Chain A
Amino acid sequence: MTTTPPLPAAPAATAQDGLAGTAIETQSLTKRFGARAAIDNVDLRVPLGVAFGFLGPNGAGKTTMIRMLLGLTHSSSGSMRLLGLPVPEQRARALERVGAIVEEPRFHAHLSGRENLRIIAAARGPQVRQRIDPALARVGLAERADDKVKKYSLGMRQRLGVARCLLADPKVLILDEPTNGLDPGGIQEFRLMIRAMVEQEGRTVFLSSHLLDEVEKICDYAAIVDRGTVVAQGAISELAGGGAREELAIGVDDPELALRTLAASELVSEVQRAEDGVRAVLADGHAATPRVNALLVGAGVGVTRLEPVRHSLEQRFLEITSRLDDGSPPPQPAAERHTPDETGVPA
């Protein structure tokens, strides 16, 4: 992707223009198809100026949620606000500053990239046409803008989809599985572009994905959705459990002795056998690591390795969804009890 001057950043929202506050907010939002709830009582709060991942397995209800937000389908109950404006009541005004790609980006294949953007620009208003060239340049398609879309690769279509979003000079971009079908290079380019939009241009990106790694690398905050229900939301680090659970992987020559020693100690709140030793959850955080080492050595255990365990979003996601599969309630770390706003995100 070529480096080009960014589009002018969207001006800051004010309370007067009705756009201040959160980017997206839902309350008890529900969508039913017959007896089945595709989205069930979802409360979601996406602050302005962040990349927010909407993470869930295929069929979890991510696309349905996005389609409701954009007015492509009606909700069964509950309420939604986009940029502080209630939708569908003030949908037209809210969508003036929202760009979206729903599922894969689709275009009139017999038209060029520029002509496809002209069609959207015509619907958005007379002032939008002047944004076509900057938007094409922003996504690195200026050179191919007059080629027919049927000659574009999937990656180029994704970029043209983003250019289409940029015509709105959006405060919020809603992207549904945006890296589907992209090669690793394309995913990397896409990731950098999204981060630049958030960090340099102050836009909010709401990104749905079933790819945990992608959300972890792109997003600041995320909500995990499964079977139509948001089971956790918060900062990525808190969702992954890193802040709430500090764990050590300890390599030892006598796992049984290490297990008994640590279980009897107040330094450790939880300990279990692992393949190459033991795993211990530290009661007072990683500051206690040297004391754990001394304790084990003092008890006659040979310590070969002491390594903090990095909790990934993937682990957390699998924990949550596997417990749901068992019918158990999801675990409740700090992140789940707070909306991103309450966990320190400037709204």
Chain B
Amino acid sequence: MRVTLRIWRQKNASDSGHFVTYEKDNVSPDMSFLEMLDALNRELIGKGEEPVAFESDCREGICGTCSLVIDGVPHGRGRGAATCQLYMRKFKDGDTVVVEPFRARAFPIIRDLVVDRSAFDRIIQAGGFISVNTGGTPDGNALPISKSVQELAMDAAACIGCGACVAACKNASAMLFVAAKVAHLGLLPQGEPERTERVRKMVAQMDKEGFGACTNTFECEAACPKEISVGFIARLNREFIRATATGD
């Protein structure tokens, strides 16, 4: 296969950036999209040119490092997969493919396709945890948790923190990310004692980081590689109102 790539190149945060076109041939349909970019980079390095900067690590869809907006869609077309799980068999010979970084005010570009998502870490640091120290915890079976509650918490906990929800949203909102963590911890009895404080602090940090508001377009769920439901956003709103109303 042969594809034409239009890739966003930007030397650093202060550079204005532009698209560069590359012709890539010898593409096998069994290659992953990132392996195709690896092959392109090998060719560029062989010519002494600077490779396209992009990030990835586990390459099996769980670490959340890879990003990329491919033909306008975060992680590319197809549901429930990260960019590293996208295969070239999804494209046709002769296709032109446009590759951009995740764009959001809260995710400044570092270089080319690499963005800074540390805002997510700061939201977790503000309250996305259960405050227990190491040691002295009760037996794991001391607190029975119904299977349905545990399953729902697990659905939310599956978030890989990639930021596709933000990149997909016209408002660059981080509501799905925050909702998933608030739901995961809030559903479990272990997380109950800090439920009120947690949602307040996380939402405050989310706003401080410059993420936009949610207007219920649900692009986030469509882009999420773990298919996390927007139902959790409704739950987040409820939790937030509850926290505000109780005022304690």
The answer to whether A and B assemble together is no
